[in-house]
Amino acid sequence: MSRIAVMGAGAWGTALALSLWRRGGHQIALWAHSPAVAATIRGTGENKLFLPGFAVPGEITVSSDVAEALAGAEIILSAMPSRHVRASYASFAAHLHAGQILVSATKGIEDGTLLRMSEVIAQVLAARNLSLPVAVLSGPSFAQELAAGAPTAVTIACSDTGVASLLQQEFGSGSLRLYTNDDVVGVELGGALKNVIALAAGVVAGLELGHNSAAALITRGIAETTRLAVACGGRRETLAGLSGMGDLILTCTGSLSRNRSVGIQLGRGATLADALAGLNGKVAEGVSTAFAALGLAERYGVEMPITSQVVAILKGERSPLAAIEELMARPGRDE
């Protein structure tokens, strides 16, 4: 029996903890940054703020104490928002040791540094003379559906293929199927960049432009995210898989997508502040990722017209309709 610590009790972290508990054969600890959230889950048996409607069994240890959550953990699965990853791992570091495996399930790029989440984690560990394997988990997966036990397939990526295979066995169940990959760059960027395209897809929906526009947006979206991922060292075929095209389709079309929902509100004329307020404390990673993605694109000389227009909308420099018109007016080119 492995002891797994799930660090982050938002909707995604809670759903992962429930999936691992349902699988059986593991001791599961769930860490919440907020003592109030931890207390509510323990007291009501439900994460009423982030994942209401799903029972959290008493067998899952819920705590806001880092030392308690990480005690004896062999696998540490983190699922906090990208902006909290660096500070969180800095607080985790004193409780980490050789022999543990770290898994990042956060989809984002760090503001300022433009680092992927596994790079942020590795940097924090290196500053403390720690060297632990870091894998990433990504793919088309809404928290609510994973929590409900709906069949879900994702990618587990690690430069050490043995670690990826081990995690495939430890996490896999009748409702969660994992495919291994050693392309950490491609898997992480696919998961992060699709949120930006989902914002654009939401704008298209908010403007009521129809299915033709949505299909074109999604298809050209995968083209530009693939260009950037390959420029950063990822593989083109990775972006055609679950962590690329699969996650993009889900997030651009699913009604549970926070990023798409924010885009819809922007398309209907809402301000960014009002659109984000409608999430009630939840995070739309695509907002910060759009700026980071554009920074990476400039660094590597990659053209990303959709991302550029998303950033212009977010900054209030261009209306959603004007952004679409500019995309349509771009010079013709080969596909």
> What single DSSP character describes residue 116?
B
Is 129 marked as binding a ligand?
no
Predicted confidence at residue 8, as pLDDT, reads: 98
3-class secondary structure, 150: coil
> What single DSSP character describes residue 68?
H
Cβ partners under 8 Å of residue 262, min gap 6:
199, 202, 272, 275, 276, 278, 279, 284, 286, 287
pTM for the model: 0.96
One digit per residue, the tens of pLDDT, for the chain of length 335 reads 689 999 999 999 999 999 999 999 999 999 999 999 999 999 999 999 999 999 999 999 999 999 999 999 999 999 999 999 999 999 999 999 999 999 999 999 999 999 999 999 999 999 999 999 999 999 999 999 999 999 999 999 999 999 999 999 999 999 999 999 999 999 999 999 999 999 999 999 999 999 999 999 999 999 999 999 999 999 999 999 999 999 999 999 999 999 999 999 999 999 999 999 999 889 999 999 999 999 999 999 999 999 999 999 999 999 999 999 999 999 998 88
Predicted confidence at residue 333, as pLDDT, reads: 87
The phi, psi pair for 261, rounded to 5°, reads: -60, -40
Is 273 marked as binding a ligand?
no
Q: Scan for tokens 């570091």, then name that residue.
A: 93
Question: What type of residue sits at position 171?
Answer: F
How far from chain centre, in Å, is Cα 127? 25
Instruction: Kindly tell me the burial class for residue 53, based on how many C-beta atoms sit within 10 Å of its own C-beta (0-12, 13-18, 19 or more).
Output: exposed
**Which pair of tokens denotes residue 323?**
């952004």
Is 162 marked as binding a ligand?
no
Predicted confidence at residue 248, as pLDDT, reads: 98
Distance (Å, rounded) from C-alpha 76 to C-alpha 98? 12
CB atoms within 10 A of CB 175: 15
Tally the C-alpha atoms within 13 A of residue 30's C-alpha that lie toward its C-beta: 31
CB atoms within 10 A of CB 301: 7
Q: Scan for tokens 């261009």, then name that residue.
A: 318
What domains are defined for the chain? Answer: 2-182 (3.40.50.720), 185-328 (1.10.1040.10)
Q: Scan for tokens 């509510």, then name that residue.
A: 40
Is 108 marked as binding a ligand?
no
Between β-strands 152-157 and 46-47, what pairing exists: parallel, antiparallel or unpaired?
A: unpaired
Distance (Å, rounded) from C-alpha 189 to C-alpha 176? 22
Is 8 marked as binding a ligand?
yes
Is 247 marked as binding a ligand?
yes
3-class secondary structure, 298: helix
Cβ partners under 8 Å of residue 278, min gap 6:
261, 262, 265, 270
Instruction: Please answer whether residues 178 and 155 qualify as being in contact, where contact means their C-beta atoms are separated by less than 8 angstroms.
Output: yes
Is 12 marked as binding a ligand?
yes
Tell me how many helices (H) and strands (E) the chain has: 16, 10
Catalytic residue among 194, 235, 260, 318: 194
Is 258 marked as binding a ligand?
yes
Biggest alpha carbon–alpha carbon distance for the chain: 60
Looking at the DSSP bridge assignments, the partners of residue 46 are 55
Is 195 marked as binding a ligand?
no
Is 31 marked as binding a ligand?
no
Tell me whether residue 194 is one of the annotated catalytic residues: yes
**Cα end-to-end distance, the chain, whole Å:** 51
Q: Scan for tokens 């395209």, then name that residue.
A: 197
Predicted confidence at residue 98, as pLDDT, reads: 94
